[in-house]
Each structure stands twice: as structure tokens, then as C-alpha cells.
A and B are shown apart, each in its own frame.
Chain A
Amino acid sequence: MELMVAIFVGVLTGTGVYLMLRARTFDLVLGLSLLSYAVNLLIFVMGRLTVGRPPILDGSQAPTLANYADPLPQALVLTAIVISFAMTALLLVIALVARSETRSDHVDGEEPQVREEGR
């Protein structure tokens, strides 16, 4: 299972970085979203993958990580999700305003002078 999650994180990061490096604001927003998914998954996995163990002590078993899931990464990931959500919304608004103000969705606010071949 660790390998599968690791591959997920890798694929999400790779696509995220690829999209971020493209020069359009919408691609940038998508890329940053994918990157933040990858990061959230990574934080979550750093608490070790466990199945069927509660994160809250109920007193029925000895309070060790063998019986319970680590609750801290779950709290961290919640914070990270909220923050990245807010930041993505903000970036989207900036991108929209920039699009209407500069009449271009290029990240530099203007189309590059030399167009690539075959476009």
C-alpha cells in the first residue's frame, strides 16, 4: 500500500510541476492545486498508514501507536487543506482580474513576442 500511495504522490507532484511550468494562469492554478493534493497526501502518509485504528483514545486499549492512529498528521493536513484552498481561491481571483485587465491569460500579462513553431 505504501508503494501505491508513493506512486500517487509522485504522479500528482509531477503533473503539478509540469502544469506550473506552463505559462498560462489557468494551468498555473491547476498545477498548484495538484501540487497541494500531493503535499496533503504526503503529510497524511507521514503519520504511517494504518487500517482500522481510531485516532482518539477511548481507554479500552493501551495508548500506544500500535493500537491507535497518529492524530497529529490528520490535524496538520486539515490545516494545510484549508490554507491551500484559500490560497488557490485568491490566486484564481487575481488571475481573473489580471485576465480582464491585461486581455491575456499569460503569466507575464502579455503574449510573448516570438511564437513557437507549429502553434
Chain B
Amino acid sequence: MNWTHWIVAPVVLPLAAGAACVLLERRAAGVARAVSIGTTFVLLGVALYLAGVASSGTVHPYLLGNWKAPFGIALALDRLSALMLVLTAVVAIASVLYARGGGAHGAHDAKGLHYHALFQFQLMGLNGAFLTADLFNLFVFFEVLLIASYGLLLHGGGAARLKAAIHYVGFNLAGSALFLVAVALLYGVTGTLNMADLSQRVAALGADQAALVRAAALLLIVVFGVKAALLPLYFWLPDTYRAAPAPVAALFAIMTKVGVYCVARVTTLIFGDDAGVATDVADPWLPWLAIGTLVLAAFGTLAAVRLRTLVAYLVIASAGTLLLAIGLGSAATLSAALFYLVNSTLVAAALFLLVDSIASGRGEAGDAMIPAPLAYRAAYGVLFFLFALEAAGLPPMGGFIGKALLLRASADQPLMIATWAALLASGFGMMIAVARAGSTIFWKAADANRMLTAAARPARTEGLAIGWLTAAMLLVVLNAGPMTRYAESTAAQLLDRRAYIEAVLGAQPVPPAWTPREGMKKP
């Protein structure tokens, strides 16, 4: 298994599967669906294999088109990329299984054309964004995942989705324009867009370029803040996530983490601790904005009158926590962030699926926080309780371990008081919000007659999808020790930018097996 091209497989596989789905879906929708589900499982296998490769601690570069970096586009696989790939695949499996489910309102993926094609293209964009080592290539993968997400958000149609889509698309197009401005400024100052090369050249810039490069760096953080839902830029998120079909919202849970991933990548690699005039350029801003995000998101959970809005604010709160940990910027807070990232992504996806399943069994009440008869109350209640514990950060679930790690790691930071206050207060607020939601929906409601609500019986794959995510969460808690060690070594690797630079810039092109000029010569 020493085939070097495995690194590009997470990008190529969904591309091929998506193209196949476009061709197949009109003739044989069942085959297209099977291709999509099969590919997602294969992706998990590939991601796990790559995680095994990356766990050796070296950065594995891959030269697309066989051009030496920084002249061609390079991909790079390190522990963080591998972790994100595995997480994406795990969430994607739950999402695609749930989309296949029947339920009361018919399968989500049968409500319009192209569901599985768009789904695969979105996975391609996500995986590409996690793997690339080139800033412009990152922009391209952002656009791939965004344009697929626009289609997925609108899947099934309806006025509410259209309204959300106009805000979402307009906002993200403006964000893309800013991304290009930042990329152009960085290219104008340094003459390169390869992240490893950028890292070296930004560090070597003179004071006369300081204003331009700092402006470009902060613009980049703004763009990633749009994706990650940072304080002044998160207002698109609640409506969008509420309007999106449930399996799509579950997949979007990983999309906010793309922003978080990119912030972590550029603030350690390019604008890190020894980046010359751009050293720690985001440090005065990021933690405070993240604290603001966290606090407002906690208020949002308390004010939510619909379950899906509540879950959307929980997503924002997790993004705030993550950005706070990354903004503090020490190795310990970074590793706490990585541990928390896994848990918060899994629980956000699981909650979106669970809430949709509950809502479709409650008839007209839907996901509104009012008592209404509900079938399978006990099963739903236990799952909701587990996920609520995880999301609010209470023991024994992994969210608690992540927050505890972060509290311990920030104890020696200058922002310790603000960090602890924000984390504990917002955790308390979220706990009240989920407790209130749970008691309204499960305790005040009567047990619905199962015979009458036979149509509301959740499809087998829906249960399978939620069970899959629950199993993944429990697996993380049970393996908290190894997971913490993996997060620690990932954080150490992130902060060791030398190794990344040497690996990417030192990658040698493969000597050609056959050169066209030589091969076409007449013997």
C-alpha cells in the first residue's frame, strides 16, 4: 500500500462519483444513490488509511501535475488534515444515510434532482480545502464547496429556503471577493501563493510592507470568520441552517469547521509566532471576538423558539469556543480545540438529524418548542439527553472533556479570567436552554398513539444514521486518552512550521516514465 496517489483520492473519488450521479440519476436513481453511499464509505476507508499514514508525524506532500512546489499546486497531508478528512467522512456517512430515509415526508434525496451529485461535489470541496497547501487552490475549493452547498440548501424548494439562500449566497459571494482581495495583496507583496513559501517570505518581509501584509492577513481571517461564524459575521447562519434540509444541515456542521480549520492553519503556518512583521497579527482580535460569539450564541440558544434554531446557535457557540482556543494560540489550547472540534462537529450533525426526526413525528407542531404528542418518546428522549449533555459540555460526554482541557490550558493565559467566565457562563446558558427544550418536548408531551402515528415511524436508515453518530461520539469518549494524545501531537505539528515548509518545498517531482518528445521519436 505504498501508492503515493492516495493523498489525492479524497478529492478525485467524490468528483468521479458526483459525475456518475449526474449521468445516472434520471435513468436509475437507485443506482446513483448506491454509488453515492458506496463512495462515502470508501472515502471513510481512504481517510482512515491516510490518518494512519499521517500519524507517523511527517508531512506528506503531493505535487499535482508533477510540478515542483511552489511553482505548481501542492497538496499536503499532515495530522490535522487527516483528522478533518476522517471527521468529514464520518459526518457524510450519517448525512447520506439519513437523506435516503423514508420517514413521514418521503426521502430527502428524492425531493428534487441532483441531490447526490451535489452532495459528492460538496465532499470534494471539503476534502480539497483540508488537503491543499496553496492559497488560491484553497479559494477554488471554497467555491466548489460553496456552489454545491447553494444547491443543497435549495434542495426541495420553498419560500423559506429561497429567502435564506439569497442572504447566504450574497454574503458568501461578498466573502469570496474579500478572499480574492487578500490573495491578490499577498501575491503582490510576496510573489507566491504556496502556503509553505508564503510562510517563509512573509517572515522575511521588511517594515515597509508591514501595513499591506497585515491588512491581507486580517482580511483572510475575516473571510474565514464568515465561514466559521465569528461574531459580526454569523447572522446568516441560524436562518440558513434552519431552512436547509436536515441531512444538509448535518453536513453543514462540518462546513463551519472549514473556517475554523483555515484560521488554525494560517495563524500557525503563515501568521504565527515568528512571522516577522505579521507576527500574531490576529491575536488582539480573535479571542475577544470569539468570546463575544460564544456569549451571544448562548443568548441565542436561550431565545430560540424552535429546536433547529437552538441547534444552529449551539453550532455558533462551538465555533466561538474553537476560535477562542485557537486565538489563545498555545500548544495546549490548540490541542484542546482539536479534541473539542471532533465532539462538537459530531454532536451538531447528530442533533440536526435527531431534531428533524422528532419534528417529522410531531405533525403540525414540527420543531416548535411546544408540547405535542410524540411517538417513541423514550428513545428520542434518551438520545436527546445524551446529545444535550455533549453539546452543553457536561460529563460524561466528550464535550465536557474538551471544555475541561481548554479551561486547564487557558489557566496560565493573560486572558484567563475572560476565557473562564465566557466558557462557564455560556455553558450554563446552553445547559438551561437544552434542559428547557427537552422538558417541553419530552415531559410535557403525551405519548402519541403508535397505531395512529404509524406513518411517522422513522425509516431504518434514519435510525442507522443517528446511531452511527452516537456510536462515533461514544467511541471518542471511551478513547479519550489516545484522542487527547493525537490532538497534542497534532498541535505540536501545527506549531512546528519548519517541518511543513521543508516537506512541501523539498518535495521532488517524480521522474517521468515516458517523455512524449523521446517517445515519439522514430526508432
Give A contacts to B, CB under 8 Å: 20, 25, 28, 32, 35-36, 38-40, 42-43, 45-47, 72-73, 76, 79-80, 83-84, 86-88, 90-91, 94-95, 97-98, 101-102, 107-109
Q: Are B174 and A20 in contact (CB under 8 A)?
A: yes
Q: Given contact pairs A32-B173, A94-B165, enumerate 7 new A-B contacts (beta carbons under 8 Å).
A: A43-B180, A43-B187, A76-B183, A76-B187, A87-B147, A91-B166, A98-B166
A95: which B residues are within 8 A, CB to CB?
Answer: 166
A36: which B residues are within 8 A, CB to CB?
Answer: 173, 177
Q: Are B184 and A83 in contact (CB under 8 A)?
A: no
Measured CB to CB, the closest approach of chain B to A10, in angstroms, equals 12
Q: Are A73 and B162 in contact (CB under 8 A)?
A: no
The residue in chain B whose Cβ has the minimal distance to the Cβ of A109 is: B163
Task: Type the 1/0 row for B125-155, where 1 means its CB is closer than 8 Å to any CB of A.
Answer: 0000000000010001001000100100010
Q: Are B170 and A109 in contact (CB under 8 A)?
A: no
* Interface: B181 (CB within 8 A): yes
* Interface: B1 (CB within 8 A): no
Measured CB to CB, the closest approach of chain B to A88, in angstroms, equals 8
Q: Are B163 and A98 in contact (CB under 8 A)?
A: yes
Measured CB to CB, the closest approach of chain A to B148, in angstroms, equals 11
Known contacts A86-B147, A91-B170, A98 near B187 by CB under 8 Å: no
The residue in chain B whose Cβ has the minimal distance to the Cβ of A16 is: B177
Q: Are B147 and A90 in contact (CB under 8 A)?
A: yes
Of all A-B residue pairs in the complex, the 8 with the closest CB atoms, nearest first, are A46-B188, A109-B163, A98-B162, A43-B184, A46-B184, A39-B180, A35-B177, A39-B177
| Total A-B residue contacts, Cβ distance less than 8 Å | 89
Measured CB to CB, the closest approach of chain B to A119, in angstroms, equals 22
Interface residues of B, count at CB 8 A: 25
The residue in chain B whose Cβ has the minimal distance to the Cβ of A28 is: B170
CA–CA, A98 and B180, complex, Å: 28
* A-B contacts, 30 listed (Cβ < 8 Å): A25-B166, A28-B166, A32-B174, A32-B177, A38-B177, A39-B177, A39-B184, A40-B180, A43-B180, A46-B187, A46-B188, A73-B184, A76-B183, A76-B187, A79-B136, A79-B140, A80-B180, A83-B143, A84-B177, A87-B143, A87-B169, A91-B170, A97-B162, A98-B165, A101-B162, A102-B159, A102-B163, A107-B167, A107-B170, A109-B159
B136: which A residues are within 8 A, CB to CB?
Answer: 76, 79
Known contacts A32-B174, A87-B176, A46 near B185 by CB under 8 Å: yes
Measured CB to CB, the closest approach of chain A to B186, in angstroms, equals 9
